[in-house]
Amino acid sequence: MKQEDYVTEIKKLKKERNAIILAHYYQTSDIQEIADFVGDSLALSQKAADNEADVILFAGVKFMAETAKILSPQKKVLLPDIEAGCSLADSCDPKEFKKFIEKYPDHTVITYINTSVEIKALSNIICTSLNAKKIIESLPKGEKIIFAPDINLGNYVSLRTGREMVIWDGACHVHEDISLEEILNIKEKEPSAKIIAHPECNASIRMIADFIGSTTALLKYIETDKNMIYIVATEPGVIYQMKKTRPKKKFIAAPSLHFSHSECNFMKMITIKKIYDCLKKEKPEIIIDENLVNKAVKPIIRMLELSN
């Protein structure tokens, strides 16, 4: 089938299945266009918890689909490619993390949403890059905190809040691989460009950034900021939405150390054809043990409460 035929069939299947497609900003532009809702991890979690669909198809990676299932266990949750994982989630092994937190029994465990369901079940509160600072500042100043798994986000939030935290040493391969040298080379050619960066970037990138924020915060920034050129230090999928909202502005994807730009190979595993096949067959389906769901849902609900 041609691309447009798949899109037509997906629309039909959505009606037949009473399905909703949720897509992350890091998906390709064609997938963002067919999605019923496009957002960052927090917004997608909120949408997963509050919709009228019987079936949720997640155009994203596995931890996102798991979060949707945890928040809507009565619904069928589909992931077009079950191998679409996350390097950051993989950097935090549940057995090792359990041993880690046992060393700090009097600490509140805050984990980033980019984690497996098993890690969420070991946590007290989940956070996203958008609400991490707010959540940490909601805790009493003397409270001891473990933050996992992203060491870059953890260090950034620690600096912003003035809170000392025990931070797990994990990272996202996309943001870790962004090249400081190549950004500076672009800056030489485009001196008026502003550098905007995700807090998952390492400290050297954050130090030269004009603005640091979550995917949603970056989108809001370029909408109101008066500059016309930006070097975008995060996964380049978000540039599609930036161009939609501000078509006259120029956006340059920050190059990685090994590639021309920092794409998430896991996010890009999802395709229009895979979405069609997934909706048609209603699989791969996310199945999570009920006891695990009951444990993992509590810290996510706590996050949603603190975010409202």
1: which 2 tokens? 């089938």
Q: Is 103 exposed, middle or buried (0-12, 13-18, 19+ CB in 10 A)?
A: exposed
23: which 2 tokens? 């897509």
**Residue 299: cis peptide before it, omega within 30 degrees of 0:** no
What's the whole-number mean pLDDT along residues 14-33? 96
What's the whole-number mean pLDDT along residues 116-142? 95
Rounded Cα–Cα distance for residues 5 and 23 (Å): 20
250: which 2 tokens? 């120029």
The reply to whether domains 3-85+267-287 and 178-253 share a CATH topology is yes
Task: Give the H or E element holding residue 300.
Answer: helix 290-307
Rounded Cα–Cα distance for residues 240 and 198 (Å): 16
Whole-number pLDDT of residue 3: 86
DSSP for 87-117, please give it: HHHHTS-HHHHHHHHHT-TTSEEEEESSS-H
126 phi and psi angles, rounded to 5 deg: -95, 155
Rounded Cα–Cα distance for residues 91 and 196 (Å): 25
Whole-number pLDDT of residue 260: 58
The CATH number assigned to the domain with range 88-172+296-307 reads 3.40.50.10800
Half-sphere exposure of 224 (CA within 13 A, CB side): 7
Rounded Cα–Cα distance for residues 77 and 72 (Å): 8
pLDDT band at 222 (very low <50, low <70, confident <90, very high): very high
pLDDT per residue over 50-70, tens digit each? 889 999 999 999 999 999 999
Residue 155 gets which letter from DSSP? H
Q: Is a pLDDT exceeding 70 seen at residue 261?
A: no
Angle at 255 between CA 252 and CA 257, to 5 degrees: 175
308 vs 66, higher pLDDT: 66
218: which 2 tokens? 């970056």
Domain ranges across the chain: 3-85+267-287, 88-172+296-307, 178-253
The amino acid at 117: V
Structure pTM? 0.93
**What CATH architecture applies to the domain 3-85+267-287?**
3-Layer(aba) Sandwich (3.40)
Whole-number pLDDT of residue 4: 87
Which is it for the CA torsion 34, 32, 88, 160, positive or negative? Answer: negative
pLDDT per residue over 161-204, tens digit each? 999 999 999 999 999 999 999 999 999 999 999 999 999 999 99
pLDDT band at 282 (very low <50, low <70, confident <90, very high): very high
Fold (CATH) for 178-253: Rossmann fold (3.40.50)
Judge contact between 37 and 20, C-beta under 8 A.
Answer: yes
245 vs 308, higher pLDDT: 245
Task: Give the H or E element holding residue 160.
Answer: helix 151-161
Residue of 195, 111, 214, 90 lying closest to 154 (CA atoms): 111
Whole-number pLDDT of residue 259: 65
